[in-house]
Amino acid sequence: MNLTGMVYRPPYEANSLLLHVTLGCSHNKCTFCHMYPDIQFTVCQMEQIEEDIEEAARVCPDIDRVFLEHGDAFVLSADKLTTIAEAIHRKLSKVKTIAMYASIQNIKHKTDAELRRLCDLGTPPEA
Ligand code: SF4
């Protein structure tokens, strides 16, 4: 499992699979934030994400929550997030929730239709 630098997640994600889809934060300028000052923002390659999902499917096949790392993973395009969610549901059939940190800007840059599609992808197709 690829985990880089300090990992931050909400308390209720303590038992979730933490999956890197980005490194750092695309904004990285909030005055009060000291989370990722030394990490250059990077979008993870789909191959690496799929390898991590494969490993999780072997090690913890019953996981039902996934939290996407790092600081504002919702900055990814709706298409990339769709690809990631579909890969998760394909290999981890018990996942009921996919969550991540998001800034207001990340949300504002998506259309209502994209937000609806991503909301639906947070749950498995058969749910
Ligand atoms: S958006 Fe979040 S992670 Fe990024 S600088 Fe602001 S508080 Fe830190």
The tens digit of pLDDT for each residue in 8-26 reads 999 999 999 999 999 999 9
**Residue pLDDT, tens place only, 59-79:** 999 999 999 999 999 999 999
The answer to whether residue 88 is domain-embedded is: yes
Q: Is 65 left (phi over 0), alpha (psi -120 to 50) or beta?
A: beta
For the residues 22-42, what does the mean pLDDT come to?
93
Q: How far is the CA of 34 from the centre of ligand 1 (A)?
A: 8
Q: How far is the CA of 11 from the centre of ligand 1 (A)?
A: 17
Q: How far is the CA of 47 from the centre of ligand 1 (A)?
A: 26
Domain span including residue 88:
11-121
CATH number (domain holding residue 42): 3.30.750.210
The answer to whether residue 127 is domain-embedded is: no
Q: Whose CA is nearest to atom 2 of ligand 1?
A: 71
The answer to whether residue 95 is domain-embedded is: yes
The answer to whether residue 4 is domain-embedded is: no
Ligand 1, atom nearest to 29 Cα:
5
For the residues 39-52, what does the mean pLDDT come to?
96
Q: Whose CA is nearest to atom 6 of ligand 1?
A: 30
Q: Which of 23, 27, 39, 75 to mutate to test the pocket of ligand 1 (most atoms within 8 A of CB)?
A: 27
Domain count, the chain: 1
The answer to whether residue 77 is domain-embedded is: yes
Q: Which two tokens stand for residue 122?
A: 């947070």
Q: Which two tokens stand for residue 13?
A: 């994600």
Model pTM score: 0.92
